[in-house]
Structure 1
Amino acid sequence: MSDRIVIYQKPTCSKCRATLSLLKERGEEFESINYYKTPLTAERMRELIQKLDIPVRDLLRKDEPSAGNLSAATDDEIIKAMVENPDLIQRPIVVRGSKARLCRPPENVMELLK
């Protein structure tokens, strides 16, 4: 697989740092996007969810206080909330080509490196 690797992350997140370390240890070239400095759009969120091949709710950090308000929300409402409040997004998300993985645990990134 020769597709470029992109990691969507938050620098203070321990899982993000561990995933970055795994990529560096393997000598992989990648682009790192801090989605707090470069916010994700609703369209990009939909693309990531499609590549992750998971339900929208699986990308929602349910332990965040503001997530409680989303229990009856539609997928579009959840995506809008995640765009407006990036703390609601599970992280890190690593993309390679047409596939993506939620790297919780960080070792999930290895599935994209085969």
Structure 2
Amino acid sequence: MKGNANIIRPYYSEKCPVIKALEILGGKWRLAIIWELSHYKSLRYNELKRHIDGITNIMLTRSLQVLEQHHLINRTDYGQIPPHVEYSITADCQALLPALEIINEWGKTRIEVHRAQS
């Protein structure tokens, strides 16, 4: 075969918005953090950690840093001793919540299917 006429190109590319979104939101804990914060005006670090079962301090800290870098959460440091820092979601993150609601409903369905099969 000559030329590139029959080459199958992948559906996604470097500039695919889905891939970009998954780069930002990927990782085990980022969506869980966003989901938890979405239910509160703000949470302190230890409160958030208590709400997310199984997350380590290192993973919570790293995930919060990435989400803050992408302007999905706000970190408010009150400059007190002992430290008083609160986290909340941004307006950009609010726009993501309808998609998370859909994922939440899909997850509930998967749980029910799994229970029925057990």
TM-score by length of 2: 0.28
Which structure has greater strand proportion? 1
TM-score by length of 1: 0.28
Which structure has greater helix proportion? 2
